[in-house]
Chains A and B, each alone.
Chain A
Amino acid sequence: MALRYAFFPGCVIPAKYPHFESATRAIAKVLDMELVDLPFSCCPPTSNMKLVHYDSWLALAARNLCVAEEQELDILTTCTGCVSTLKEANYIMRQKPNRRRKINRILEKAGRHYEGTIEVFHLLDVLYDHIGLEAIEEKCIYDLNMKVASHYGCHLFRPSYIMYPEFLSPSHSYVPTSIDEITEVLGGEPVKYMRRFLCCGYPLGANVDEDASYEILREKLYYIKAAHAELIAVACASCFEQFELGQVMIKKKYKETYKLPTLYISQLIGLAMGIDNETLGLKEHIHKIKKLLPRLQERTGRMRATL
């Protein structure tokens, strides 16, 4: 039976990067996942609404949880910002009775009530834990043959006691491995680089100071290049924007050229599955992946998935 999820694409991907959504829907189809569209609002972000007005942040997030709970569906998000807000709100609504009562009193004015019966996942968790690496590999008709640097996005895994409580290290920390492991089954080579878990800097640029945010990015890019990566894989639209535009700005300001294509994780998987470049929207990118495409190597005896 198909896995079913309440699909939470967020605000940024549907409006600015529809090709990430189209790539996600395409791989979901190949992997026999059903994505249900529901009237979700903005998550809203931990990097603005939560900082400005905590109760409003929690109430709007809890409203989104209600929308999925009413359909008895777990949520699948495609952005690390969304997953962080919704997972944290879910944690608070379950673990903190005082806040739950307060927020439910507010939601009741809008005819809603959150019981706390659903779970929230990022696409990466669904791919890794629910679908499984083997099932993904089965659908790949190409080996990527490219060196891939992963950037997970801070909000995917911090704070780890909320995001991944079941996997904490003895020092109560956690770092993810899913993008690297997925890259491996796609026939790509995950590249380890220094400062892998450093922030990309995006919220700093969006909120107050782009130049300062690119300073942070520059440090990351330096190590990515030093490790000879050929492309960057991300799981968040904001991180993508930072890498994509940041490279342009860094070139202007410091005359440093990186030209590293950045792909959203669904695009990378789509490439290995043989999904066409139009559906994946590859030509939308500033730093083109075109010159790497001849590297794709057909796996013998594999059939192209039909969409």
Chain B
Amino acid sequence: MTVQKVWSLFDRSQLYECYECSKCSGSCPVTLAGDFLGPRKILLKCLQHGSGRVIRDPLLWYCTTCQVCQDRCPQEINIPELLTGLRNKAAKIGNIPERVKFTVEKIAKTGRSVLGFKVERERKRYNLPPVVEISKEEISKILAETGFFKDLKIDH
């Protein structure tokens, strides 16, 4: 199985529905804070040049996934799905922030996103039961089937 194509996660015909009103980018929190292109410009670039150039932009990863763009879009364009599709493709070509890669690899190998040596001791202080054990083998088995290790070139 190969990684999803951008247009299998986002219906490409939605690109043509955009009014260019910029309600999305005006609402996007990240445009407050940095050089992130913002949803409207990303969409426009995809329309004009296809996804090839956009997926090389490291700033794609600035989107917080807050989804306010989709919520406010008068055309109900599912921009978060576009940004998900683009980043799936970006990750495959190696445009993936170190920290994101580190976290997903940890999830794949341990089944959890946060680990710690002191966890059980801290939990005991609050009379909490130990964190329920899960089968790491089951998690890896599922992810081997989805193509996770192969697509992201992570040893398995």
Residues on A close to B: CB < 8 A? Answer: 11-12, 14-16, 18-19, 21-22, 25, 37-42, 44-56, 59-60, 63, 106-107, 109-110, 154-155, 158-160, 172-173, 197-199, 201-204, 206-209, 212-213, 215-216, 219, 279, 281
Contact = CB atoms under 8 A, between A and B. Distances in A.
Given A14-B123, A52-B91, A159-B71, A109 B142 contact: yes
Interface in B89-139: 91, 96-97, 99-101, 103-104, 107-108, 111-116, 119, 122-123, 125-129, 131-135, 138-139
A215 B4 CA distance: 33
A47 B85 CA distance: 13
B34 A212 contact: yes
A59 B91 CA distance: 18
B interface majority secondary structure: helix
Contacts of B143: 56, 59-60
Contacts, number: 197
11 contacts: A15-B112, A22-B126, A40-B132, A52-B100, A59-B145, A158-B66, A158-B70, A204-B64, A207-B100, A208-B99, A213-B64
Contacts of A159: 67, 70-71, 78, 80
Given A42-B113, A203-B65, A215 B33 contact: yes
Nearest to A55: B146
B71 A39 contact: no
A21 B146 contact: no
Nearest to B4: A54
Contacts of A42: 107, 111-113
A300 B50 CA distance: 67
A172 B70 CA distance: 10
A281 to B, nearest CB: 7
Contacts of A48: 100, 103-104, 107, 113
Given A15-B119, A49-B104, A207 B126 contact: no
A276 to B, nearest CB: 12
B152 interface: yes
Given A14-B123, A158-B66, A41 B111 contact: yes
Q: How large is the interface on B (under 10, 10 to 19, 20 to 34, 35 or more residues)?
A: 35 or more
Given A53-B91, A155-B65, 13 more contacts: A18-B125, A21-B123, A49-B104, A53-B104, A54-B9, A59-B145, A59-B146, A60-B143, A154-B65, A203-B64, A203-B65, A207-B99, A215-B32
A198 B29 contact: yes
Contacts of B113: 11-12, 42, 44-45, 48
Given A39-B133, A216-B32, A172 B76 contact: yes
Contacts of A60: 107, 139, 142-143
B147 interface: yes
B57 to A, nearest CB: 12
A225 B143 CA distance: 45
B108 A56 contact: yes
A192 to B, nearest CB: 18
Contacts of B40: none
A202 B152 CA distance: 24
Among all A-B residue pairs, the 8 with the closest Cβ atoms? A199-B66, A215-B33, A22-B126, A41-B111, A158-B67, A212-B33, A154-B66, A15-B114
A106 B145 CA distance: 6
B62 interface: yes
B51 interface: no
A230 B146 CA distance: 47
A290 to B, nearest CB: 19
Contacts of A158: 66-68, 70-71
Contacts of B22: none
A38 B29 contact: no
A49 B107 contact: yes
Contacts of B83: 51
B129 A37 contact: yes
Contacts of A110: 138, 141-142
A202 B56 CA distance: 23
B46 interface: no
B84 interface: yes
A15 B148 contact: no
A110 B66 CA distance: 33
Interface string B15-58: 00000000000000110111000000000000000000000000
